[in-house]
Amino acid sequence: MSRSADGIYNFMGLKNYISDIYNGVKSLITGMKVTGHYITHPKEIITQQYPENRDTLKMFERFRGEVVLIHDENNQHKCTGCSACELACPNGSIEIISGKETDPETGKSTKIIDTFVYHLSMCTFCNLCILSCPTDAIKMAQDFEHSVFDRSKLTKVLNKPGSKIMPGVK
Amino acid sequence: MTEQELITNIETVPETQEYFINMGPQHPSTHGVLRLLLTLDGEIIKKIEPHLGYIHRSIEKMCEKDSYQQIVHLTDRMDYLSCHINNEAVCLCVEKGLQLEVPERVKVIRTIISELTRLSSHQLWWGVMGMDLGAITTFLYGFRDRELITDIFEETCGARLTMNYNVPGGVMFDIHPNFQKRTKDFITYFRKKLPEYDELLTGNVIFTERTKDIGYLSKDDAISFGVTGPSGRASGFACDVRKRFPYSAYDRVQFEEIVYTEGDCFARYKARIAEMWESMKIIEQLIDNIPEGEHKAKTKAVIKLPEGEYYQRVETARGELGVYIVSDNKKSPYRVKFRSPGFSNLSALDTMARGNKIADLVATMSTLDLVIPDIDR
Amino acid sequence: MNFNIYDFTDFVNSINVWLNTVFPPAAADIAGFVIIGICFLTFITLLGLSLVYIERKVCAFFQQRLGPMRVGFWGTAQTIADIIKLIFKEPLVSKGSDKFLFNLAAFIVIIAPFMAIAAVPFAKGLHVLDFDIGLFFITAVSSIGVTGILLAGWSSNNKYSLIGAMRSGAQIVSYELSVILSLLTIIILTGSLQLSVIVESQRDGWWIFKGNIPAVIAFFIFIIASTAESNRGPFDMAEAESELTAGFHTEYSGIKFAYFFLAEYINLFIIAAVGATVFFGGWMPLHIGNFEFFNNIMDFIPPIIWFFGKIAAIIFLIMWFKWTFPRLRIDQLLTLEWKYLLPINLVNLLLMALVALSGWHL
């Protein structure tokens, strides 16, 4: 209630005051309805309890967790040691130490990998190495539980001991 | 006490002093390692000095030793909330340099994922905005809806945040068979959930009181500071790159450029909420009309841009991102410069928040939607 | 010793008699104090622990989460684990702080609710301090806590703490008015400040139903103002974690931080207890006038359950506010008090006086 200059009481102020309170309270109750809805509908809870649901948890097939070198059942892989992935990697996560192998029949020596070193700690999972591989020897695996207590465990050797290159892959 | 004594006593009362507060580098509402040196008079802000560089990783310099394919993944780490749009900007710039025409399918896929990225960024912003103003529940609701988009990304692109889905010439893989269905499901879901955002915050009397007429930025100031994106458009500066300089598939979709003239926090808030509706419209127009074709144009294994300078701008969730590449015909660029929206938007903060209270500064910063790695790069 | 869940008077008296037979009179009094003290310390500790757990669960369910789930069944032992952690943490004192006041503040904050809780009537006969100014005592004593907050902010040598403390001071001084005025509206009807009398006066119905519209308005003002007085969201200006990191208790760690935390929850309990006592009849079961059959059924539920049920409902309402609304700004907070709550309150008080004079209440 305010008094205008000509001395007439103006009740518009009081009306606005009350409508302000009414609209304010109404908007607050609208908000409380939303949260009230969720507390009365516990089925809509979206929490996933992670370590407990490990058995049912399945990552999408394209998920990029770590680089692995594909080995078949005969312990053979397709890596020729061309080091295209090493060049494609932006962070130097991949180091390929290659050796020579001489074919006893023909006497020709071919380049093979000795160790395929993968520094998981440096990897940004950009997928460029997979794209650059000419023989599709490496792929991204879905394993994402990489925590270790010792940093050196994150440097991995991807080719399994005694593994050989698959025949026919060049 | 006589009158005279009273007067002398009053005169000996020490004057009030301005004082400084370091807001950040570790502070809950700077959302990262931004440090603001505030000069305060009581609770009134007299001056704001942003101090940058706490998360500077010299991405621009690192780009100079990387090949053009490798640059793309670095831009994920700039504005991580609109990483796909950053990637797209670099790829578009490289494609411009190569004069490479990408397949239609790629353009549409890129546009859809860009808009999904924008949606997810705005959802997160909405949650954080509520949290900055004290309504912590909104934060969880924002993340709840964003989760569905990150699932879409994970299925198609292979990662949730730093997707690196673009390569010069196209996208890394074709879209996943479930992509269209998931996206459509999400749009139906989110059309129901977005009004809830309005009920919780937009209409709330406390929220409107906290944001209306706070952090005013005039159109002239917005232009001179280069404030772009929803923040600029809320001040009446029509600067939507998608409309002004269409790229990818934006020239074939119908959407409105959201422009408000109030220039306060509430206008910036409304602009982002309205942009979410527009993004959903764009996705709905494109999702059923993805043309058949290749997902990637053929490029050489080693990309060399012809000698020259190339510039490409895109609209990220925060504003205009410019990618400027100087090439000397080698396999890595001679110089790369990113014009990041966050940096320019931050520069206007002092003008906007001066004279307001600390609580208003938090609201203003929130509506600017700053991502600190984007400012520092 | 006859234990009766509906009336504790005989039980308390028999303990008293037993103490007097075992000890000489002076020692019996001291023994009584010690027993009461131990009971309250245990009660407050359990109350704090369970309220923290409840708050976490309630907040989680508002936010579509599950909340603590790991320690104990459904995370019930989570708060105990937290307390153990807080006890073993280093009590840091920041450089340049006033060490005496810094340590004192934490105790003042916790002492205030300890004193106030003594006057709360839990059930018939279960009442430590029942004197004629009980309500006045609770409101007066519970506002001592603000001294602790101001001291904490001042002595921390931290500007965030100082701002938080100043805000808190301004806030509590203003909202104290509304709390007391809204309680006065009911005092007009009861005519007494003694809590047991207030409870007894609601034997034929609670004041919120009997007191007509002014009582309902008074209750809502009471809830808003007391939420503000206890520094809880949406009025948590003093903490305001997005503005002032943690406000007045930024520099506290370990068990002293736990004191602030505990004090907040005991304050919450006291507010709810006062609200329940004055507006909802305290431990008095729901009675409708002379409707004997209904009243007898209601009497079957023990008063202590009525009391805690009412408190739980009010606490839930306050938590609902906190987890829904954004925080107000400090000037808006004062505007709300001085321009809205206080005038409405004064008009409401007049209205209630009119109602009481005309006998419109039941």
- DSSP symbols for B293-333: S-SB----SS--PPSEEEEEEEE-SSSEEEEEEEE-SSSS-
Q: What is the CA radius of gyration of chain A?
A: 33
Report yes or no: C65 at the A interface, CB cutoff 8 Å.
Answer: yes
- C-beta atoms of A47 and C340 within 8 A: no
Q: Among residues B62, B169, B165, which one has the least CA distance to residue B113?
A: B165
Distance from CA of B199 to the nearest CA of A (A): 5
The answer to whether A35 faces chain B, any CB pair under 8 Å, is: yes
Cis peptide before C234 (omega within 30 of 0): yes
Task: Tell me the CA distances in angstroms from A30 to B36, B200, B201, C323, C326, one per residue in order.
Answer: 36, 7, 10, 14, 14
Q: Encoding tokens for residue C31?
A: 């023994």
Cα dihedral B230, B231, B233, B238 in deg (nearest 10): -90
pLDDT tens across A136-148, in order?
888 888 888 888 8
Q: Do A45 and C320 touch (CB under 8 A)?
A: no
Using CA atoms, how far apart are residues B133 and C237, in angstroms rounded to an integer? Answer: 11
d(CA C188, CA C172): 24
d(CA B299, CA B196): 46
CB distance A38–C62 less than 8 Å? yes
Chain B nearest-CA distance from C265, in A, is 19
Instruction: Kindly report the CATH class assigned to A66-165.
Output: alpha beta
Are residues B343 and B374 in contact, defined by beta-carbon separation less than 8 angstroms? yes
Among chain B residues, CA nearest to C63: B137
Burial class (CB in 10 A: 0-12, 13-18, 19+), B268: buried
CA atoms within 13 Å, Cβ hemisphere of B366: 31
pLDDT in tens, C269-303: 888 888 888 888 777 777 776 777 777 777 777 87
SS3 A131: helix
How far off is chain A from B227, nearest CA to CA, in Å?
Answer: 32
For residue C5, name the pLDDT band (cuts at 50, 70, 90). low
Query: Cβ(C108)–Cβ(C262) under 8 Å?
Result: no
Count of residues making up chain A: 170
pLDDT for A95 equals 86
Chain A and chain C share a number of CB contacts under 8 A equal to 34
Concatenated DSSP letters for C272-332?
Answer: HHHHHHHHH-TT-----TT-HHHHHHHHHS-HHHHHHHHHHHHHHHHHHHHTTSPPPPHHH
User: What is the distance in angstroms between the Cα of B211 and the nearest Cα belonging to chain A?
Assistant: 15
Instruction: Please determine, for residue A2, whether its predicted confidence score (pLDDT) is greater than 60.
Output: no
Question: What is the per-residue pLDDT across C198-250, written as a single tens digit (0 to 9) for each?
Answer: 887 877 777 777 777 888 888 888 888 888 888 887 888 767 666 777 778 88
- Give the pLDDT confidence score for residue A3 in this predicted structure: 45
* Residue in C300, C215, A128 with CA at minimum distance from that of residue B74: A128
d(C-alpha B243, C-alpha B82), whole Å: 18
Mean pLDDT along residues A32-60: 84
**Separation in Å, CA of B341 to nearest CA in chain C:** 24
Asked if residues B340 and B377 have their Cβ atoms less than 8 Å apart, the reply is yes
Of B28, B134, B359, the CB nearest to C233: B134
Contacts 24+ apart (CB under 8 A), C35-41: C36/C128, C40/C114, C40/C117, C40/C118, C40/C128
Among C59, C64, C329, the residue with its CB nearest the CB of B359 is C329
Q: What is the pLDDT of residue B12?
A: 65
Q: Which residues contact C80 (CB under 8 A, 6 or more apart)?
A: C49, C71
C-alpha to C-alpha distances, B194 to B200, B253, C135, nearest whole angstrom = 10, 22, 47
Q: Which of B70, B137, B204 sits opposite A27 (nearest CB)?
A: B204
Q: Is the CB of C324 less than 8 angstroms away from the CB of A32?
A: yes
* Residue of chain B whose alpha carbon sits nearest to that of C239: B134
- In CATH terms, the fold of domain B55-376 is Cytochrome-c3 Hydrogenase; chain B (1.10.645)
| Chain C nearest-CA residue for B140 | C63
pLDDT greater than 50 at residue A7: no
Distance CA C71, CA C83 (A): 13
Helix (H) or strand (E) holding C66: none
Contact call for C58 and A39, based on CB within 8 A? yes
Contact C64 A28 (CB under 8 A): no
Residue A129: list chain B partners with CB under 8 A: none
> Quick check: A8 pLDDT over 60?
no
Nearest to C323 among A35, A45, A49 (CB): A35
CA closest to C60 among chain A residues? A39
Contact C326, B134 (CB under 8 A): yes
Mean pLDDT per block of 10 residues along chain B (377 residues) reads 69 74 80 85 85 86 87 86 89 87 88 90 89 86 89 87 86 86 90 87 85 87 89 88 86 87 88 90 87 83 84 89 88 88 88 86 86 85
| H/E element, A118 | strand A109-119
Residues composing chain C: 362
Question: Buried b vs exposed e over C270-302: b needs ≥16 C-beta within 10 Å?
Answer: bbbbbbbbbbbbbbbbbbeeeeeeebeeeeeeb
Looking at residue A1, its pLDDT comes to: 39
Is B74 in contact with A88 (Cβ distance < 8 A)?
A: no
Q: Which residue of B has its CA nearest to A141?
A: B158
For residue C321, list chain A residues with Cβ-Cβ distance below 8 A. Answer: 32
CA distances from B282 to A164, B175, B253, B317, B362 (A): 52, 18, 6, 15, 32
For residue B143, the distance in angstroms to the closest alpha carbon of chain A comes to: 11
Question: A-chain residues within 8 Å CB-CB of B173?
Answer: 62
Residue C73: which pLDDT band, with cuts at 50, 70 and 90?
confident
Do C62 and B137 lie within an 8 Å CB cutoff?
A: yes
In whole angstroms, how far apart are CA A52 and each of A55, C4, C73? 8, 47, 15
The DSSP call for residue A130 is H
The residues spanned by each domain of chain B are 55-376
Interval C333-362 mean pLDDT: 83
List chain C residues with CB under 8 Å of B43: 163, 330
What is the distance in angstroms between the Cα of B55 and the nearest Cα belonging to chain A? 18
For residues C340 and C223, give the distance between their C-alpha atoms in angstroms, rounded to a whole number. Answer: 14
The full set of domain ranges for chain A reads 2-39, 66-165
